[in-house]
Amino acid sequence: MQITPSIHAIRHSFRIPIAPGVALDRFVYSFLIYGDTITLIDAGVAGCENDIFTYIRSTCRDPSEIALIVLTHAHPDHIGSAQAIQQATRCSIAAHHAERAWIEDIDLQNRERPVPGFAALVGGPVQVDHELVDGDIIETDEVLGGEMLVFHTPGHSKGSISLFLQSSRSLFSGDAIPVAGDLPVYDDAATSVQSVKMLRGIADIRFLLSSWDHPRRGNAVYYQMDMALEYLRKIQMTVLALSDEGVTDPVELAKKTASALGLPSEAVNPLLTRTLVSNLQTRGLKNLF
Ligand SMILES: [Zn+2]
């Protein structure tokens, strides 16, 4: 799907096996930025290289033109096909320094943050060639005539980044902005809120290109961010109210919160538990929202 003359979005569907015979249907977007070369933002799950290469060829460009993959973070559905693409194109890889260890050592990531079906979702590790930090500028080529700003937007993960392409005022937000009504996934509730508020403060964003939501444009950009903040507030209030009622067991907390949020029962998994436990740590924080 073409978003602007230079930006293309590719939607990848995949399944996470959560129990024998039960799988969670998910999707993730990756994005291509066309200039003299091609920059890829995120790489989907293992096997997505086929979708990406096919798409590029359908636009009369060639996969060998991919010069850079920017990974918004290390999770399986963002790095899954990076190794296959890197091997096919010899492109370089950029990511925040706090994500480096999990991108380069996927066994470490799987031990520290197990996701069901991890091995099937990630094709292999890759070396990070360029470490990014907040405030960095990724120079895009002359065809694009602009710079891409790097924002550190932690919360979903320690080194999550968002990217802002100035020429078309397009924000690539990775998984930093929760989608209201969907499975919430973050490591740190407070920084997640702060990151969404920070992104909400960027003026005149014309395109919001999230990895786990459909592309948004115009007024829908800020509306989605407002909905995300409202959702985070609702989760926060629900978790703290349950804790006040004496619900301390993490799995029980996840079950009751999922029910209150209207999430399906299969959403109660270790990722949700990990997420909601982080809300407990925000008790007493003033002016979070
Ligand atoms: Zn993620």
What's the CA-to-centroid distance between 163 and ligand 1, angstroms?
Answer: 15
What's the CA-to-centroid distance between 219 and ligand 1, angstroms?
Answer: 25
Q: Give CATH superfamily name and number for 7-234.
A: Ribonuclease Z/Hydroxyacylglutathione hydrolase-like (3.60.15.10)
Question: At 102, which amino acid appears?
Answer: W
What tens digit of pLDDT does each residue of 221-260 get?
999 999 999 999 999 999 999 999 999 899 999 999 999 9
What's the CA-to-centroid distance between 41 and ligand 1, angstroms?
Answer: 13
Rounded to the nearest 10°, the torsion over CA 117, 122, 159, 133 is 180
Tell whether the torsion through CA atoms of 207, 210, 211 and 213 is positive or negative. negative
- Over 90: is that where the pLDDT of 131 sits? yes
- The rounded mean pLDDT for the chain is 94
- Over 80: is that where the pLDDT of 145 sits? no
What's the CA-to-centroid distance between 175 and ligand 1, angstroms?
Answer: 5
What tens digit of pLDDT does each residue of 95-123 get?
999 999 999 999 999 999 988 889 999 99
Mean pLDDT in residue range 143-163: 90
What's the CA-to-centroid distance between 244 and ligand 1, angstroms?
Answer: 30
Residue 49 forms beta bridges with which residues?
none
What's the CA-to-centroid distance between 73 and ligand 1, angstroms?
Answer: 7
What's the CA-to-centroid distance between 34 and ligand 1, angstroms?
Answer: 24
pLDDT of residue 285: 84
Mean pLDDT in residue range 128-141: 91
Q: Are 282 and 288 in contact (CB under 8 A)?
A: yes
- Over 80: is that where the pLDDT of 171 sits? yes
Residue 19 forms beta bridges with which residues?
22
Cα(166)–Cα(147) distance, rounded to whole angstroms? 6
pLDDT of residue 144: 63
What's the CA-to-centroid distance between 6 and ligand 1, angstroms?
Answer: 25
